[in-house]
Amino acid sequence: MLSNTDWLAIVNCMEISLKAETLFHVGSLPVTNSVLTTWVVMILLVLIGLLARRVRLIPRGVQNVVEMVVVSLYDLIKPIINNDKVTRRIFPLLGVLFVFILISNWAGLLPGVGSIGVRELHEGKEILVPLFRAPTSDLNTTFALAVISVVVTTVLGVAIIGPVSYTKKFIRLTSPIDFFIGIFEMISELSRLLSYSFRLFGNIFAGEVMISVITFLIPWVIPAPLYAFELFVGFIQAFVFVVLTALFISLAIVDHDAHPHDQVEAELQPSTN
């Protein structure tokens, strides 16, 4: 059995750091290990994109994989947005978001990510500064992604239903109840920033902490299924980020006040196709 001092040694060994460590500076800009990994992921994605550039009618090699990913994503997003023109316009962004988040989540599971690094003296203690860190286990990355998602949703809403009717969703002066509903809409729009970023960050970071803790306690066999679970979680989080973005876009591009009667009648009539 482990004694008390052993436990303390184990706990002190685990270097869990909430924020990404700065590796070097470019000018006055600090470059952290998660930014470095982001660059690696971006280079990888660009390479895959270049490989799949020569599109053939009969797919071969990489094109098969790329086509499978693109088509299944498109089929998933199309019924959610429910508007072919908008889907076609926004799909490139959503697709890249999915692939980028997926690769970023899985990057943290590669051997060497988080374990290869340089030892540095920091506040009197020698700590390991890893060279790589999963981009999505840094709150900055996930917050940037959340900002992109929310801004795109708002811009699309304004572009499709017009600035006046989009503002009417949030500022309603018809009755006191409507006024408060508008305020709640506004709050939920802003809290989306937090929920997007914390969901992604929390899931991926929690996974990494869990794996490192389990590896310290039981180094054999047990971490393997956890790795499989983290692969699944990484996929689900990328999927959920894109599906939620599509869902909120579909809500933003519908004008509730425009023609309520037409909609009801269209629903009442039996479909013609």
Partner 1 sequence: MDAEAAKLIGMALAMGLGAIGPGIGIGLIGAKALEAIGRNPDVENSIRTNMLLAIVFSEIMGILAFVVALIIKFV
Interface residues with partner 1 (CB under 8 A) are 16-18, 195, 198-199, 201-203, 205-206, 236, 239-240, 243-244, 247
CA-based max dimension of the chain: 75
CB of 19 to partner 1, least distance (A): 9
Residues 6+ apart with CB under 8 A from 162: 255
Give whichever of 79 and 112 is closer to partner 1, judged by the CB atom.
79
CB of 113 to partner 1, least distance (A): 20
- With the CA atoms of 246, 247, 253 and 259 taken in that order, what torsion angle do they form, in degrees rounded to the nearest 10? 150
**CA distances (Å), origin 188, targets 150, 176, 198, 255:** 11, 19, 15, 18
Give whichever of 171 and 187 is closer to partner 1, judged by the CB atom.
187
Cβ density class 149-165: b for 16+ within 10 Å, e for less: bbebbeebbbebbeeee
172 three-state secondary structure: coil
Give whichever of 17 and 63 is closer to partner 1, judged by the CB atom.
17
Give whichever of 17 and 83 is closer to partner 1, judged by the CB atom.
17
Two tokens at 234?
Answer: 């990484």
Two tokens at 5?
Answer: 């001092």
Q: Where are the beta strands (DSSP E) in 82-235?
A: 117-122, 125-130
- Give yes or no for a contact between 236 and 140, defined as CB atoms under 8 angstroms apart: no
- Give yes or no for a contact between 108 and 133, defined as CB atoms under 8 angstroms apart: yes
CB of 47 to partner 1, least distance (A): 31
- Give yes or no for a contact between 263 and 98, defined as CB atoms under 8 angstroms apart: no
Give whichever of 115 and 195 is closer to partner 1, judged by the CB atom.
195
CB of 18 to partner 1, least distance (A): 5
Give whichever of 76 and 93 is closer to partner 1, judged by the CB atom.
76
Q: Name which of 235, 236, 233 is nearest 211 in CA terms.
A: 233
CB of 118 to partner 1, least distance (A): 21
Residues 6+ apart with CB under 8 A from 149: 97, 192, 196, 241, 244, 245, 248
CB of 209 to partner 1, least distance (A): 8
Give whichever of 48 and 244 is closer to partner 1, judged by the CB atom.
244
CB of 194 to partner 1, least distance (A): 9
CB of 69 to partner 1, least distance (A): 17
Give whichever of 113 and 246 is closer to partner 1, judged by the CB atom.
246
